[in-house]
Chains A and B, each alone.
Chain A
């Protein structure tokens, strides 16, 4: 199945009272089927907007997005979107929240099986009946991942999914996402401002310029997984990305690296 994502001449302009705000300028990019791509950039560079356009939640001012060759016109259950906040329904248990994700009319036995499988997939066995407020931030985010995966989406979009988690939980969740990706084999597009996270996870990294966001550089991470976060190649790529951000200001890169 073709799970590729094509971004074709996508730009986005928000109308403001004092004129217009261009958030994205013409962007073209092709994500291979089953590829893991990260988008990094400073806050406000339009990376989340780009992701929302891919998801079909926002409409591009010009250009279009194609998933598997078909134009995205509205959100689809075949495209999963994970937000920075877990956005669970507080009145539903873990199980019920995951089940909410199921789109098709599935008979009860199969529903239960699907929910059970996804509870296990994100490692929440034993917490099926818990309410979201009883879970830690990392666990809540796992539930939201399971909810997005239950329809077996072709593409999973992640919008700074671990931004609100502490450093240790974040690293743990990154490993989990890799594990899930290897099981599910969906195309992944991750928006993050955590450069290490992008290098650790991705096949390719898109560096967006400041507003209006445009693709400034594409970096291929040719390091075999599991990746060593302090490996030589890892460090080189990190330096390369930081250079992109700080070139103009000629700041001391060493300080950040």
Chain B
């Protein structure tokens, strides 16, 4: 593709950005106005300016950071467990028909169970401590990594395998140098979905039983009738989720440079 002149490109970027901002700004402005006029009940839905002030306050006091960090560390632990297990079982299922047949019925039954239904079982099994929350996150991030990895491996081009066979590569080299790299775009999609799942699972887990974390902040604020704190909590979940995806997309772009359709 021919490069566009610098200023044309900038112009287009600004235009895209402005269009993306337009609707949120309109909503915020009318919300503010309606709240100011008292048409919207302020004690239920505080005005954006109030939420913003609350947000600034929660940042200054370190409260938001503290709870977000707690949630984030749960996500990291849970994803490491679930994503790691998903990768291992995904490789097993992708490589071996035996494993795939062994696990397929179990996967079929367990996968459709919604996260919220796992919580009572996990609390019974593991108590209301960290264990049950991290397990829930692990379950949530397990499935997408498992399914995408095994699909990526099963879909590998047999012609590439023949190249490895001709060059007398060992089984281990075939796995690490041919099969896994070929499946990696799929695995990465699984990782992105898994991280997204993990982040929403942490909030689910914390909303039900916790004394820290962003989910707890939201539920606690509801009990204390602090809608501004509640909304800061809810919006920060969305924001962190967005950031996570942006970071992963950035990593994908660098790691999977070879896989881009064109330059």
Chain A residues within CB distance 8 Å of chain B: 55, 57, 75-77, 79-81, 83, 85, 87, 89-92, 100-101, 103, 131-134, 147-148, 151
> In the complex, what residues of A have CB within 8 A of residue B160's CB?
87, 89
B224: Cβ under 8 A from any A Cβ: no
A75-B258 in contact (CB<8A)? no
Contact mask for chain B residues 166-192; partner A; CB cutoff 8 A; 1 contact, 0 none: 111000000001100110100000000
The winner among A57, A79, A87 for most chain B CB atoms within 10 A is A87
Q: Which of B162, B167, B181, B258 contacts A131 (CB 8 A)?
A: B258
B254: Cβ under 8 A from any A Cβ: no
A101-B167 in contact (CB<8A)? yes
The winner among B160, B168, B184, B256 for most chain A CB atoms within 10 A is B168
21 interchain pairs, CB-CB under 8 A: A55-B166, A57-B166, A75-B166, A75-B167, A77-B166, A77-B167, A83-B159, A83-B162, A87-B159, A87-B162, A89-B160, A91-B182, A91-B184, A91-B256, A91-B259, A100-B167, A103-B168, A132-B258, A133-B262, A147-B163, A151-B167
Interface residues on B, range: 10 to 19
Q: Is the interface of B mostly helix, strand, loop or mixed?
A: helix
> In the complex, what residues of B have CB within 8 A of residue A131's CB?
257-258
* Besides the known contacts A85-B159, A100-B167, A148-B166, 14 further A-B residue pairs in the complex with CB atoms under 8 A apart: A57-B162, A57-B166, A75-B168, A76-B168, A77-B167, A77-B168, A79-B166, A80-B166, A81-B166, A83-B163, A89-B163, A89-B181, A91-B184, A100-B177
Q: In the assembly, what is the distance between CA of A87 and CA of B159, in Å?
A: 7
**Number of inter-chain CB pairs below 8 Å:** 52
> In the complex, what residues of B have CB within 8 A of residue A147's CB?
163, 167
Smallest CB-CB A-B distances: 6 pairs: A91-B258, A75-B166, A91-B181, A131-B258, A81-B166, A87-B163
> In the complex, what residues of A have CB within 8 A of residue B181's CB?
89, 91
B223: Cβ under 8 A from any A Cβ: no
Q: Is the interface of A mostly helix, strand, loop or mixed?
A: loop
B167-A103 in contact (CB<8A)? yes
